């Protein structure tokens, strides 16, 4: 009961075989039963498109300063300038364009960090769960040590050691969060390895590596996808936090956290510089979370009770 | 029912904790020594000669090997001497000791808020027969679990600091209020000395950061406690009480809540250490003068002695919290008491 209470732990209890009948034609009706997957997923696709095609979509150059046009309010407020939909910051830079370009950094970090953490955690979890023995002992010990090390401590230490920048942010997230994947994948692999189809494959003379990566791994993918989605939400937050305190990318690159930090400075003169990026961050984090949660329910019929 | 505290103190864990702390010290020391960037380079004036640099290097002991440096540092550290902060030119221990009370008060207030909110909503949703109330609490809980303290803190700044200006958005106490206190525990000492003006002002400064820290923790407490309450409600003793005609309210408050709190408490302890980590960013947002804010300044200024000291203090706090949880866990659950 306690284990199920936490979202990250509850992913593990899924009997994956149950997802099979939902494949094929019924996938659309399954999606309709879980509308938040569609809503959250749709929002994130739009966000990704805006980030990819930022130079085409953004109404202005995000770095272009015009001190004559500083702290313009959003278009629907008195004193606004048409063409600056969400207003400008203290240097006269267009807020909407900066938010769109900031999405590039946020989504890059989310994708790269989550996939790298997922890859390392999944491979180690598979090996530990399937081969057992000293590999399992070593990986489990490593996870224990990692869990004893509080994440904040680790991230402060990491940023202090490797310095600021996009790579450091991604590296910090990967180093801290690979255990999230490893723990779940390890216990899932343990369960799968006991199933009949694995025994059948052994009898047929399939090699152990083939069993692990061709037979077992596909059954774990739904769980990994759920974890990936949740991890991307976490990565977006970490990037925002680090850029908020000025420990992420250099300051000439717009980031959501950087915009929020600037907005915090001039909150009484220009509330919009804080509010709009904050709303966008909130929506993005919630979308990743709801997508992960919705996917979890789709692949885990037990939770639908 | 009461047992002496020493009997339940997990000595084995204490030993393990010492080993962990030593490990944290070694790892952080070694990592911080391989940092690219010379701490001396940040301290010297532009016209310094190579001899000056060598002398400065020797005076800080930076010309020795890393193991030797560690032994020297450890010898000082066990006496509470963590050296001098490079960026603030003050004793590290003195700096941290001055900031620690603010963070302690903030996290304890946040913990109280989280426990009240979490336990309250869990009991409420267990008792409520209406589907609407249950669904509302469940959905609210889902959002609280997803949204981090960082976002709450900024949302509060906008709502209660700017849109509706009822609370101060930075600092710990209005500088115009005089505090001739002996300690830096302004809230506690204000309460003890019965100074309502001080207490009121400090609380007004703390309420937003405390709530920002408390909300995610409250969501976790609520989720765990609700599950535990449901499980306990299916136990024989609870069913028996039901058959005997006790109301659901009485069964929950008198019978099941006590047992359900045990697993909840264990998890709260772990989550509380995460909340302590959250102070780093929340204190930054509210310019609250605690050790979290200090930590960010230390990293930005690459102030190695200060970072080193803070990492150890954070590590020590995490370990103390875990020990306290284990001890109170054993007190609540007699089955865990080992001879």
Q: Supply the pLDDT for residue A282.
A: 93
Contacts 24+ apart (CB under 8 A), B179-182: none
Q: Supply the pLDDT for residue A40.
A: 93
Q: Residue A220: name the closest of A116, A129, A117 by CA.
A: A129
Domain coordinates in residue numbering, chain A: 22-304
Q: Name every residue whose Cβ is closer than 8 Å to that of residue A165 and which is 6 or more positions away in sequence.
A: A248, A249, A250
Of the partner residues B151, B223, B263, the one whose CB lies closest to the CB of residue A282: B151
Q: What is the mean pLDDT of residues B325-329?
A: 75
Its pTM stands at 0.83
Q: Each residue of B89-120: pLDDT tens digit?
A: 889 999 999 999 999 999 999 999 999 999 99
pLDDT above 80 (res B190): yes
pLDDT above 50 (res A55): yes
DSSP SS3 for A203? helix
CA A203 to chain centre: 40
Of the partner residues B20, B150, B224, the one whose CB lies closest to the CB of residue A5: B224
Please answer whether residues A210 and A262 qualify as being in contact, where contact means their C-beta atoms are separated by less than 8 angstroms.
no
CATH of region A22-304: 1.10.3720.10
The question of ipTM being above 0.85 is answered as: no
Nearest chain B alpha carbon to A3: B224
Of the partner residues B146, B263, B277, the one whose CB lies closest to the CB of residue A289: B146
Both structure tokens of B100: 């620690």
Whether B303 is in a domain gets the answer no
Distances (CA, A) of B58 to B54, B55, B61, B64, B67: 6, 5, 5, 8, 16
pLDDT above 80 (res B1): no
Of the partner residues B263, B296, B315, the one whose CB lies closest to the CB of residue A153: B315
DSSP SS3 for A18? helix
Q: What is the mean pLDDT of residues B124-148?
A: 84
CA dihedral (B274, B277, B282, B286) in degrees, to 10, reads 140
In angstroms and rounded to an integer, the radius of gyration of the C-alpha atoms of chain A is 22
Residue A287 with chain B: CB contacts under 8 Å: none
Nearest chain B alpha carbon to A268: B162
Residue A290 with chain B: CB contacts under 8 Å: 142, 146
Whether B213 is in a domain gets the answer yes
Domain enclosing residue B257, as ranges: 102-288
CATH number at residue B164: 1.10.3720.10
| Helix residue ranges, H only, chain A | 2-5, 7-10, 27-33, 35-52, 54-57, 95-131, 133-148, 151-162, 166-193, 196-203, 208-210, 217-244, 256-265, 272-299
How far apart are alpha carbons B313 and B277 in whole angstroms? 12
Q: Is A248 on the interface with B (CB under 8 A)?
A: no
Please answer whether residues B278 and B102 qualify as being in contact, where contact means their C-beta atoms are separated by less than 8 angstroms.
no
Q: How far is B106 from chain A (nearest CA, A)?
A: 17
pLDDT above 60 (res B62): yes
pLDDT above 60 (res A71): yes
Indicate which of A2, A164, A293 best probes the interface with B, i.e. most B CBs within 10 Å of its own CB. Answer: A2
* Pairwise CB contact (< 8 Å): A152 & B277: yes
Residue A245 with chain B: CB contacts under 8 Å: 281, 284, 296, 300
* Pairwise CB contact (< 8 Å): B31 & A7: no
* Pairwise CB contact (< 8 Å): B147 & A233: no
Q: For the packed helices A151-162 and A217-244, what is the interaxial angle rounded to 10 degrees?
A: 70
Indicate which of A147, A180, A241 best probes the interface with B, i.e. most B CBs within 10 Å of its own CB. Answer: A241
Q: What is the mean pLDDT of residues B262-289?
A: 84
Of the partner residues A2, A160, A247, the one whose CB lies closest to the CB of residue B35: A160
Q: Each residue of B238-250: pLDDT tens digit?
A: 888 888 888 888 8
CB contact residues (below 8 A), chain B span 78-137, against chain A? none
What distance, in Å, lies between the first and last C-alpha atoms of chain A? 15
Tally of domains in chain B: 1
Q: How far is B36 from chain A (nearest CA, A)?
A: 7
pLDDT above 70 (res A302): no
Residue A247 with chain B: CB contacts under 8 Å: 296, 299-300
Lowest mean pLDDT among B239-253, B262-276, B284-298: B262-276
Q: Is B19 on the interface with A (CB under 8 A)?
A: no
Q: Is B270 on the interface with A (CB under 8 A)?
A: no
Q: How many residue contacts between A and B have a Cβ separation below 8 Å?
A: 126
DSSP letter, residue B91: B
pLDDT tier, B42 (very low <50, low <70, confident <90, very high otherwise): low
How far apart are alpha carbons B300 and B241 in whole angstroms? 60
Q: Is B281 on the interface with A (CB under 8 A)?
A: yes
pLDDT above 70 (res A133): yes
What distance, in Å, lies between the first and last C-alpha atoms of chain B? 16
* Pairwise CB contact (< 8 Å): B145 & A160: no
Q: Is A278 on the interface with B (CB under 8 A)?
A: yes
pLDDT above 90 (res B305): no
């Amino acid at each position: 009961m306690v284990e199920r209470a936490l979202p990250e732990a509850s992913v593990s209890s899924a009997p994956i075989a149950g997802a099979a009948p939902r494949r094929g034609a019924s996938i659309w009706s399954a999606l309709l039963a879980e509308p938040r997957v569609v809503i959250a997923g749709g929002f994130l696709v739009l966000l990704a498109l805006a980030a990819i095609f930022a130079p085409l979509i953004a109404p202005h150059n995000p770095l272009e300063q015009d001190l004559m046009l500083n702290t313009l309010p959003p278009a629907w407020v008195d004193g606004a300038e048409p063409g600056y939909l969400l207003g400008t910051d203290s240097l006269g830079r267009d807020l909407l364009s900066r938010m769109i370009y900031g999405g590039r950094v946020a989504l890059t970090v989310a994708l790269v960090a989550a996939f790298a953490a997922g890859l390392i955690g999944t491979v180690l979890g598979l090996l530990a769960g399937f081969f057992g023995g000293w590999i399992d002992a070593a990986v489990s010990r490593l996870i224990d040590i990692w869990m004893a090390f509080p994440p904040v401590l680790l991230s402060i230490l990491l940023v202090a050691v490797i310095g600021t920048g996009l790579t450091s942010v991604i590296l910090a997230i990967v180093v801290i969060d690979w255990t999230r994947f490893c723990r779940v994948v390890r216990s899932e692999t343990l369960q799968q390895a006991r199933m009949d189809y694995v025994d059948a494959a052994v009898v047929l003379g399939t090699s152990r590596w083939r069993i692990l990566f061709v037979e077992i791994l596909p059954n774990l993918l739904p769980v990994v996808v759920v974890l990936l989605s949740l991890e991307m939400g976490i990565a977006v937050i970490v990037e925002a936090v680090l850029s908020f305190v000025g420990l992420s990318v250099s300051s000439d690159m717009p980031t959501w956290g950087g915009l929020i930090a600037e907005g915090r400075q001039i909150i009484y003169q220009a509330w919009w510089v804080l509010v709009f990026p904050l709303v966008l961050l909130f929506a993005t984090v919630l979308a990743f979370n709801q997508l992960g949660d919705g996917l979890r329910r789709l692949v885990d019929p037990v939770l639908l009770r | 029912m009461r047992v002496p505290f020493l009997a339940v103190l997990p000595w084995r864990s204490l030993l393990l904790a010492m080993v962990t702390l030593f490990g944290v010290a070694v790892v952080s020391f070694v990592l911080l020594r391989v940092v690219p960037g010379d701490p001396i380079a940040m301290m010297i004036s532009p016209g310094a000669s190579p001899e000056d640099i060598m002398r400065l290097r020797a005076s800080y002991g930076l010309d020795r090997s890393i193991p030797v440096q560690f032994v020297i540092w450890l010898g000082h550290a066990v006496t509470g001497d963590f050296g001098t902060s490079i960026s603030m030119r003050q004793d590290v221990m003195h700096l941290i000791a001055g900031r620690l009370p603010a963070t302690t008060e903030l996290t304890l207030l946040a913990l109280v808020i989280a426990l009240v909110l979490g336990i309250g909503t869990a009991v409420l949703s267990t008792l409520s027969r209406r589907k609407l109330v249950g669904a509302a609490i469940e959905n609210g809980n889902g959002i609280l679990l997803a949204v981090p303290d960082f976002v709450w803190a900024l949302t509060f700044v906008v709502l209660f600091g700017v849109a509706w200006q009822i609370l101060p958005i930075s600092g710990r106490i209005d500088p115009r209020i005089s505090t001739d206190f002996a300690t830096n525990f302004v809230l506690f000492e204000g309460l003890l000395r019965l100074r309502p003006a001080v207490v009121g002002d400090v609380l007004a400064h703390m309420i937003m950061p405390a709530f920002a820290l408390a909300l995610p923790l409250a969501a976790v407490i609520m989720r765990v406690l609700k599950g535990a309450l449901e499980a306990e409600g299916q136990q024989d003793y609870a069913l028996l009480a039901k058959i005997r005609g006790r109301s659901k309210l009485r069964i929950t408050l008198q019978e099941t809540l006590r047992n359900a709190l045990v697993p909840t408490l264990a998890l709260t302890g772990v989550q509380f250490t995460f909340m302590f980590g959250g102070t780093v960013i929340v204190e930054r947002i509210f310019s609250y003068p605690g050790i979290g804010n200090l930590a960010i300044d230390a990293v930005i200024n690459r102030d190695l002695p200060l970072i080193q000291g803070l990492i150890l203090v954070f590590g020590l706090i995490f370990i103390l919290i875990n020990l306290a949880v284990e001890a109170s866990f054993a007190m609540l659950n007699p089955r865990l008491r080992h001879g």
